[in-house]
Amino acid sequence: MKTIKAFICSIALFAMFAGTAAQAKTEIQWWHAFGGRLGELLDTQVNKFNASQDKYTVVHTRKGNYSETLNAGIAAFRAKQQPHILMVFEVGTASMMAAKGATKPIYEVMNESGLKFNQNAFIPPVKGYYTTTDGQMLSLPYNASTPVLWVNKDLMKKAGLKPNMSLKHWGDVGKALDAAKAAGISCGLTTAWQSWIHLENFSAYHDIPFATKGNGFKGLDTELKINGPLQVAHLGLMGKWAKEGKFFYAGRRNEGGANFRAGECMFFTESSAGYAGIKKEAKFDFGIKSLPYYEGTKGPQNTIIGGASLWAMGGHSAEEYNGVAALVNFLSQTKVQSQWAQDTGYLPTTTKAFKATGSFYRKNPGTDIAGKQMLANATTDNSKGLRLGSFDQIRKIIDEELESIWTGKKNAQVAMNSATKRGNVLLRRFERANK
How large a percentage of the chain has pLDDT more than 70?
95
Q: What is the pLDDT of residue 125?
A: 85
Q: Give residue 137's pLDDT.
A: 95
How far is residue 193's CA from residue 274's CA, in Å, rounded to a whole number?
12
Average pLDDT over residues 29-36: 96
Residues 228 and 210: their CA atoms lie apart, in Å, by: 9
d(CA 173, CA 373): 18
Name the E strands within 187-248: 187-191
Query: Which pLDDT tens digit goes with each residue over 233-244?
Result: 999 999 999 999
d(CA 182, CA 160) in angstroms, rounded, equals 10
Write out pLDDT tens, residues 127-167: 888 998 888 999 999 999 999 999 999 999 999 999 999 99
Q: 274-312, pLDDT tens digit by residue?
A: 999 999 999 999 999 999 999 999 879 999 999 999 999
Which pLDDT score is estimated for 435? 84
Residue 191 clears pLDDT 90, i.e. is over it: yes
Query: Span 373-385, mean pLDDT?
Result: 93
Residue type, 90: E
Please report the domains of the chain, with CATH numbers, ordered by start residue. Answer: 24-145+306-356 (3.40.190.10), 147-303+384-433 (3.40.190.10)
Does 15 have pLDDT greater than 60?
no
- Which residues lie below 8 Å from residue 232, measured CB to CB, with a gap of 6+? 412, 413, 416
- How high is the pLDDT of residue 203? 98
Q: In the chain, what are the helix, strand and coil shares in percent, each to the nearest 5?
A: 50, 15, 35
User: CA 8 to CA 242: how far, in whole Å?
Assistant: 75
The CA distances from residue 429 to 29, 192, 200, 417, 435, in Å, are 33, 29, 21, 19, 10
Average of pLDDT values for 356-378?
94
Q: Are 206 and 297 in contact (CB under 8 A)?
A: yes
pLDDT at 406 over 50: yes
Q: Which of 369, 35, 402 is nearest to 191 (CA)?
A: 402
Q: What is the average pLDDT value for the chain, to the nearest integer? A: 93
- The pLDDT assigned to 3 comes to 52
Instruction: Determine the longest span between alpha carbons in the chain, in angstroms.
Output: 92
Q: Is-contact 33 87, C-beta < 8 A?
A: yes
pLDDT of residue 243: 98
Residues listed for the chain: 435
Give 7's pLDDT tier (boundaries 50, 70, 90).
Answer: very low
